[in-house]
């Protein structure tokens, strides 16, 4: 390329990007005011673009944090529910074996569907909320169950 020839805009852009470092072209850019202006324009655009992209850059580890929040926590809601229920059964049995018998014959059949729904709800809830809340709610449900059962037991017999 002749030093007096003006390079095309793509070549000037390549120089600004650092992809082109032909001495004939870079010297031409210093000598030719028209090409220097184009070069400076391209440089401005590049610096603005870099400024924009660096402003929009996500913090380090963002995707890791995000995926960690989206992915379900390894919280065994079913297991916790089962353990609490088992503890409830045991404590009822220790309190009075006939209570448990009554609970199975009346209470459980009446509330089985409700429990299944609740377990599923808790399972999905545990993916998005603090597991402590699930345990708290579950415990509250068991306590409520006891209160209702003891009330019903008193009424029925």
| Region near Zn ion per CB under 5 A, out of 27-35, 60-68, 93-101, 107-115 | 27-35
φ, ψ dihedrals at 51, nearest 5°: -65, -45
- For Zn ion, the closer CB: 6 or 125: 6
**Smaller CB distance to Zn ion: residue 24 or 94?**
24
Question: Contact region for Zn ion (CB under 5 A) — 4-12, 55-63, 76-84, 105-113?
Answer: 4-12
Q: How far is the CB of 20 from Zn ion (least distance, A)?
A: 14
The residues, any chain, with a CB within 8 Å of residue 139's CB and separated by 6 or more, are 84
d(CA 105, CA 84) in angstroms, rounded, equals: 20
Task: Return the closest-CA partner of residue 140 out of 129, 151, 148, 150.
Answer: 148
Question: 108 with 63: CB under 8 angstroms?
Answer: no
Rounded Cα gap, residues 29 and 26, in angstroms: 5
Binders of Zn ion among residues 30 to 89 (CB under 5 A) are 32, 35
- Stretch of 10-18, 29-37, 45-53, 125-133 lying at the interface with Zn ion (CB under 5 A): 29-37
Closest distance of CB 34 from Zn ion, Å: 5
| Residues that bind Zn ion in the complex, under the rule CB under 5 A | 6, 32, 35
């Amino acid at each position: 390329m002749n030093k007096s020839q003006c390079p095309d805009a793509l070549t000037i852009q390549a120089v600004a990007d650092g992809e082109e470092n032909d001495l004939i072209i870079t010297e031409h850019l210093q000598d030719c005011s028209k090409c220097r202006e184009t070069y400076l324009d391209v440089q401005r655009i590049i610096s603005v673009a870099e400024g924009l992209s660096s402003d929009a850059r996500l913090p380090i580890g963002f995707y890791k944090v995000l995926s960690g929040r989206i992915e379900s926590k390894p919280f065994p809601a079913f297991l916790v529910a089962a353990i609490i229920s088992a503890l409830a059964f045991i404590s009822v049995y220790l309190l009075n074996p006939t209570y448990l018998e009554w609970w199975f014959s009346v209470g459980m059949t009446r509330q089985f569907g409700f429990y299944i729904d609740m377990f599923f709800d808790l399972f999905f809830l545990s993916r998005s909320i603090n597991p402590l809340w699930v345990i708290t709610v579950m415990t509250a449900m068991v306590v409520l169950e006891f209160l209702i059962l003891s009330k019903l037991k008193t009424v029925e017999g």
